[in-house]
Amino acid sequence: MSFTVLSRDGSSPVTLAEAKAQSRIVHDSEDSLIQSYITASVELCESHAQKLVQLSTVKSYFDDSDTEIELNRPVRAINAIKYIDADGAEQSITADYTVLSQYDNGVLLSLDVVPDYQQIWVEYVAGYDDYTVTGSELEVINSGTLTVPTTFKIACLMLVSHMYNNREAVSDFQRYELPMGVKHMLDSLRYYA
């Protein structure tokens, strides 16, 4: 499975004030730099944990051998299931699927009718924050508010502080990762199939 983020709602699980408090910064002269560090840390943490935290519209692609489709991000709603048929035309699946299970905000779908297809993709909304039903969804999985895991937020704050305090790619000092550092926290959130 591969996926593409089509759009994000723009909200961040870490605020500028929280990042400045974590790094003990009391001035405003580097706010845009710190905001860049926040964006980078959230993207790095999302990538490592294999979860989308910012509310996002996503397109996940599956190959022609998949009859069960696993969406392992915090799924909020399924917007569309489409495929390219044997003739190369785009087709939609509207009601020919079943939600087999929901786990830790992930979803396992089964195609009731397996079309002859070359590639299939699912467009869905994933992430935390408040999700309001729009009415255009095929199926709502999780509406309302899901809270960003505290470990994710702390990992992002630790990364922002590290980026702020270590602005170069190399150092004159040898440094070691803390045993209960960022990677350890994000590994606890990661989904292993």
77 plus 158 within the same structural domain: no
129 plus 156 within the same structural domain: no
Contact 141, 97 (CB under 8 A): no
Residue span of the structural domain in which 29 resides: 2-52+148-167+175-189
Q: Which two tokens stand for residue 57?
A: 């519209």
Condensed to tens digits (0 to 9), the pLDDT of residues 52-91 reads 888 899 998 887 666 788 887 788 889 998 888 878 888 8
Condensed to tens digits (0 to 9), the pLDDT of residues 90-146 reads 888 887 788 887 776 678 888 777 677 667 889 999 988 777 788 878 888 877 888
Which CATH number characterizes residue 6's domain? 1.10.3230
Average pLDDT (36-60) is 89
82 plus 47 within the same structural domain: no
60 plus 141 within the same structural domain: yes
42 plus 100 within the same structural domain: no
Q: In the beta sheet, which residues pair with residue 91?
A: 83
The C-alpha atoms of residue 124 and residue 99 are separated, in whole angstroms, by: 14
Count of structural domains, the chain: 2
Provide the whole-model pTM.
Answer: 0.78
Q: Which two tokens stand for residue 62?
A: 């599956």
